[in-house]
Amino acid sequence: MLKNLNIWFVSSLLISLTVIIPILTVFSSFFENTTNYFDILKNTFLFEYTLNSFCLLVSVLSLTFIIGTCSAYLVSFYEFPLSNFFKWALILSFAVPPYIYAYSLTAFFENYGTAYTILKNLFGEGNYNTHIPKFDGMLGSILSISFSLFGYVYILARASFLYQSQNLIDLGKNLGFSNFRSFYSVILPSARPAIVAGLSLVAMETLAEFGAVDFFSINTLTTGIYNSWIAFDDLAFANQLSFFLLLFIFALFILENLSRKKAKYHFNSRGGFKRKEKLKLTRHKALLAFTFCFFIFFMSFLFPLSQMLYWTIKFPENLFDLKIMELFLNTIYLVFLSSIILILFSLISNYGNRVSNNKMLNIFSTLSISGYAIPGVILAVAFITFVAWFDDNIIKTLGFLSIKKIFFGSILGLVLVYFIRFYSLAFNGIKSGYEKINIYVDESAYLLGYSKRKTFMNIHIPFLRNSLLFVGILVSLEIIRELPITLILRPFNFETFATTAYISASEDLLEAAAVPSLFLILIAALFIMISSKYILRDNNE
């Protein structure tokens, strides 16, 4: 290992270790003593927490599979009114985090809510409340999470459908298959790895979901972790719960990894690839396809957007009460600072891995990218645990001043945990850019007299420009929507659109949550529109 010791190797190693520490903290907590909260919980709510998490997971996976796959199939294989618009409009659902969807759902269907107002305006006064369905509790959580996350399945399924060879479809026709039979016996099995990969992402996000389930008062393992820390001040038990959740998530992570390998194999064997001609739908078939896609687009984006817009207009005082510019600047400040740090360090780490070609470093990097699989709540708790332990056992023993203030309730601590949480997104995004640079390119540069630093600056960075932009936008989008980490670690009096919306909603002031939610959706939608051509990858970049 010592012979590989160079600045790139050391930097990569340090970055990986920084990200791994909270993960190790969660694992190490398994052996610690806890308060009697565990006994209380074991005898009371643990079964309910686990059952709720499981129900939520299965329902969300089923719904996202149906919505994501069907919409991807329609826009990939058929031409119908606005099909090209739906192709990218469906990914706008990413702009609406589950907790904002939950606010919209409640605001619309609650007693004397928007639905009631509409009916009253149409038909006059009446007792409509009893007839309006209530989408709250478990059902509300399932709908909120599904409409917010189906985009993962949609994007990956669509990418897979897009590169399915026409030969495969022709083969189905040749065997006399109907369109439906071709779909389930030829097209769907071929896209299976991509769909599974999309569902794994949905699963990770669902298990990690905090805002929506908390709003609907559904107790899951994630809210259990938050409660054991907030209500019982039991960090060790919060970590132990996290450990169980982490094991489950790691199993999903491995599944996702395995399926992605299959997907790669799929793309490599594109022999005889023939681009598909889209089938033009007419009359009732076109209308059906259009209605389905419009319904999904409406439900996932237009509905929450218009609900928030409606309330913003209806209660304009909230717009003026709120320090919009301050919230905007805070959000953008966090987004830019975190994105730049994430991109810079992920770039260095990727290059360090590339030039060092060291097995140990590879293992550390692989471990470090599992941060994305860990719910934000767990990461925040693990971070606090580690800093507290480090401060008590190392810093104070050495006689230095406490470092807790530097990391708790500070921008530094917040950005550091964002870094750990979203490191895998940035690392993998840049890695996929790097995979397009043949290793011979580096070697050619060395042979032309370029040093490692010069190769990095003059050859790699210009080539990776687009990847860096894409990763930056992706990370920004995640940070804009992120809630639990910001909620736990933000400095006193430092609010973002996400935290302001959450705080208003948790105080039952949904009208007040509308303004920050609306701004959050608009900013996120703007980022999505800028990056849509990269996300959809139509050019096979």
Partner 1 sequence: MSKNFFEINDVTFSIGGKNKVNDVNISIENEGDIICILGPSGIGKTTMLRTIAGLEKIKKGQIILKNKIISSSKIHLEPEKRNIALSFQENSLFPHYTVNKNIHLGVKKNSLNNKKIESKEIIKILNIESILDKYPHQISAGESQRASLARSLISQPDLLLLDEPLSNVDQSFKEDIQVALKQILKENKISTIVVTHDSYEAFYLGSKCALILDNEVKQFDDPYNVYHFPNSIQVVNFLNRGILLPAKVTGGNSLENDDLGIIKGKFIKHYPTGSKVQLLLQPEDLEHDDDSNLKLEVVDRKFRGTNFIYTLKTPSNRLIPVAVHTHHWEQHEVNEKFGIKRPIELEHIVCF
Q: Which of 131, 444, 457, 533 binds partner 1 (CB under 8 A)?
A: 444
Per-residue binder mask for partner 1 (CB under 8 A), 385-424, x = binder:
----------------------------------------
Q: Which is nearer to partner 1, 363 or 441 (CB)?
A: 441
Report yes or no: 20 and 360 within 8 Å, Cβ to Cβ. no
Retrieve residue 177's tokens: 């298959």
Place of tokens 């071709």: 182
Cα–Cα dist 202/152, whole Å: 7
Cα–Cα dist 23/423, whole Å: 13
User: Interacting stretch for partner 1, rule CB under 8 A, among 341-349, 368-376, 399-407, 446-454?
Assistant: 446-454
> Residue 279's beta-bridge partner residues?
78
> Residue 78's beta-bridge partner residues?
279
Q: Which of 438, 492, 493, 508 binds partner 1 (CB under 8 A)?
A: 438
459 lies in the site for partner 1, by CB under 8 A? yes
Cα–Cα dist 266/168, whole Å: 13
What residue type is 396 in one-letter code? Answer: K
> Residue 195's beta-bridge partner residues?
none
Q: Which is nearer to partner 1, 180 or 440 (CB)?
A: 440
271 lies in the site for partner 1, by CB under 8 A? no
445 lies in the site for partner 1, by CB under 8 A? yes
178 lies in the site for partner 1, by CB under 8 A? no
Retrieve residue 327's tokens: 């919230």
Q: Which is nearer to partner 1, 323 or 454 (CB)?
A: 454
291 lies in the site for partner 1, by CB under 8 A? no
Q: Which is nearer to partner 1, 302 or 469 (CB)?
A: 469
443 lies in the site for partner 1, by CB under 8 A? yes
Q: Which is nearer to partner 1, 32 or 443 (CB)?
A: 443
Per-residue binder mask for partner 1 (CB under 8 A), 105-124, x = binder:
--------------------
User: Interacting stretch for partner 1, rule CB under 8 A, among 91-99, 160-168, 244-252, 441-449?
Assistant: 441-449
**How far lies 70's CA from each of 13, 154, 305, 536, in Å?**
43, 8, 23, 16
Per-residue binder mask for partner 1 (CB under 8 A), 466-485, x = binder:
--------------------
Strands (E), 16-140: 78-79
**Dihedral over Cα of 45, 483, 230, 393: its sign:** positive
The minimum distance between CB 444 and partner 1, in angstroms, equals: 4
Cα–Cα dist 388/239, whole Å: 14
133 lies in the site for partner 1, by CB under 8 A? no
440 lies in the site for partner 1, by CB under 8 A? yes
2 lies in the site for partner 1, by CB under 8 A? no
Cβ count within 10 A of residue 342:
28
Report yes or no: 346 and 426 within 8 Å, Cβ to Cβ. yes
Helices within 110-165 (DSSP H only): 114-123, 137-162
Nearest to 193 by CA among 153, 247, 151: 153
User: Interacting stretch for partner 1, rule CB under 8 A, among 202-210, 242-250, 343-351, 443-451?
Assistant: 443-451
Interface size with partner 1, residues (CB under 8 A): 17
Q: Which of 119, 188, 255, 437 binds partner 1 (CB under 8 A)?
A: 437
Contact footprint for partner 1 (CB under 8 A): 436-438, 440-441, 443-451, 459, 462-463
